[in-house]
Amino acid sequence: MKTLKTIKKDGFPSGCAFSGILNRRGELFSGTHILDSIAQMHDRSNGLGGGFAAYGIYPEYRDFYALHMLYENKESRDITENFLKKNFYIEIEERIPTRSTRAIYNPPILWRYFIKPMAHRVEEERGTEEDFMVKCVMEVNENIDGAYVISSGQNMGVFKGVGFPEDIGEFYRLDDYQAYLWIAHGRFPTNTPGWWGGAHPFGLLNWTIVHNGEVSSYGTNRRYLEMFNYRCTLQTDTEVIAYAIDLLLRKFGLPIELMCKVLAPPLWKNIDLLPPEDAEVLKTLRILYGDLLMNGPFSIILGFENGMVALNDRIKLRPLVAAEKGEFLYIASEESAISAICSQPDRIWYPKGGEPVIGYVEGNGRC
Amino acid sequence: MLMKSMLISEFIIERNLDRCIVCRACERQCGFDAHQYDPEDDVMVSIDENCVGCQRCSYICPTNAITIRRNPTELQPHAQWDANTIHNIMKQAETGGMLLAGMGNDRPYPIYWDHLLLNASQVTNPSIDPLREPMELRTYLGRKPDRVEIEETDGKPRLKTKLYPLVEIETPILFAAMSYGALSYNVCRSLAQAAQEFGTLFNTGEGGLHEKLYQYGDHAIVQVASGRFGVDEEYLNTGAIIEIKIGQGAKPGIGGHLPGEKVLADIARTRGIPEGTDALSPAPHHDIYSIEDLRQLIFALKEATDYRKPISVKIAAVHNVASIASGIVHAGADIVAIDGFRGATGAAPVVIRNNVGLPIELALAAVDQRLRDEGVRNNVSLIVSGSIRNSADVIKAIALGADAVYIGTAALIAIGCHLCQKCHTGKCSWGIATQDPYKTRRVNPEIATRRLVNLLQAWSREITDTLGGMGINSIESLKGNRLHLRGVGLNQVELDILGVKHAGESL
Is residue A50 a part of any domain in this protein?
yes
CATH classification of the domain holding A101: 3.60.20.10
> Measured between CB atoms, which of B147, B158, B477 is closest to A277?
B158
Annotated catalytic residues of A are 16
Interface of A with B in 135-164 (CB under 8 A): none
- Reduce the DSSP state of residue A325 to 3 states and report it: strand
Residue of A nearest to B163 (CA): A284
Task: Report in angstroms the alpha-carbon separations of A352 from A266, A324, A347, B131, B432.
Answer: 11, 17, 15, 21, 52
Distance from CA of B125 to the nearest CA of A (A): 6
Q: Answer for the pair A295, A215: CB distance below 8 angstroms, yes or no.
A: yes
Say yes or no: A191 contacts chain B, CB-CB below 8 A.
yes
Report which DSSP code applies to B330.
H
Say yes or no: A60 contacts chain B, CB-CB below 8 A.
no
Q: Which domains are delineated in chain B?
A: 11-97 (3.30.70.20), 139-502 (3.20.20.70)
How many independent structural domains does chain A possess? 1
- Reduce the DSSP state of residue A102 to 3 states and report it: coil
> Measured between CB atoms, which of B125, B134, B158 is closest to A296?
B125
CB atoms within 10 A of CB A161: 26
pLDDT per residue as tens, chain B (507 positions): 678 899 999 999 999 999 999 999 999 999 999 999 999 999 999 999 999 999 999 999 999 999 999 999 989 999 999 999 999 999 999 999 999 999 999 999 999 999 999 999 998 788 999 999 999 999 999 999 999 999 988 889 999 988 899 999 999 999 999 999 999 999 999 999 999 999 999 999 999 999 999 999 999 999 999 999 999 999 999 999 999 999 999 999 998 888 888 899 999 999 999 999 999 999 999 999 999 999 999 999 999 999 999 999 999 999 999 999 999 999 999 999 999 999 999 999 999 999 999 999 999 999 999 999 999 999 999 999 998 999 999 999 999 999 999 999 999 999 999 999 999 999 999 999 999 999 999 999 999 999 999 999 999 999 999 999 999 999 999 999 999 999 999 999 999 999 999 999 987
Distance from CA of A70 to the nearest CA of B (A): 24
User: Phi and psi dihedrals of A293, rounded to 5?
Assistant: -60, 130
Judged by CB atoms closer than 8 Å, whether chains meet at A287 and B144 is answered as: yes
Judged by CB atoms closer than 8 Å, whether chains meet at B378 and A297 is answered as: no
Is residue A27 a part of any domain in this protein?
yes
Judged by CB atoms closer than 8 Å, whether chains meet at B482 and A219 is answered as: yes
Strand A207-213 and strand A298-304: pairing? Answer: antiparallel
> Measured between CB atoms, which of B136, B156, B166 is closest to A287?
B166
Is residue A54 a part of any domain in this protein?
yes
Say yes or no: A226 contacts chain B, CB-CB below 8 A.
yes
Is residue A197 a part of any domain in this protein?
yes
**Rounded to an integer, what distance in angstroms lies between the CA atom of residue B73 and that of residue B381?**
50
Is residue A171 a part of any domain in this protein?
yes
Name residues whose C-beta falls within 8 Å of residue A98's C-beta, 6 or more positions apart in sequence. A107, A110, A171, A172, A173
- Reduce the DSSP state of residue B151 to 3 states and report it: strand
Determine the longest span between alpha carbons in chain B, in angstroms.
91
pTM above 0.90, yes or no: yes
Report which DSSP code applies to B114.
G
Is residue A133 a part of any domain in this protein?
yes
> Measured between CB atoms, which of A190, A219, A280 is closest to B484?
A219
Phi-psi sector, B136: left (phi>0), alpha (psi -120 to 50), beta: beta
Task: Report in angstroms the alpha-carbon separations of A333 from A12, A213, A316, A346, B269.
Answer: 18, 11, 12, 19, 68
> Measured between CB atoms, which of B134, B470, B507 is closest to A9?
B507
User: Phi and psi dihedrals of B365, rounded to 5?
Assistant: -60, -40
* Of A201, A229, A222, A62, nearest in space to A135 by CA: A229
| Residue B376 CB burial class (10 angstroms; 0-12, 13-18, ≥19) | middle
Say yes or no: B160 contacts chain A, CB-CB below 8 A.
no
**Model ipTM value:** 0.91
**Rounded to an integer, what distance in angstroms lies between the CA atom of residue A290 and that of residue A296?**
14
**Rounded to an integer, what distance in angstroms lies between the CA atom of residue B159 and that of residue A282?**
10
Residue of A nearest to B480 (CA): A220
Residue A110: give the domain boundaries. 3-360
Is residue A221 a part of any domain in this protein?
yes
Judged by CB atoms closer than 8 Å, whether chains meet at B477 and A287 is answered as: no
Amino acid at site A103: A
Interface of A with B in 292-351 (CB under 8 A): 293, 295-297, 314-315, 317
Judged by CB atoms closer than 8 Å, whether chains meet at A254 and B150 is answered as: yes
Contact residues on chain A for B138, CB-CB shorter than 8 A: 268
**Rounded to an integer, what distance in angstroms lies between the CA atom of residue B202 and that of residue A327?**
59
Size of interface A-B (CB pairs under 8 A): 125
Contact residues on chain A for B159, CB-CB shorter than 8 A: 280-281, 284
3-state secondary structure B374-432: CCCHHHCEEEEECCCCCHHHHHHHHHHCCCEEEECHHHHHHCCCCCCCCHHHCCCCCCC
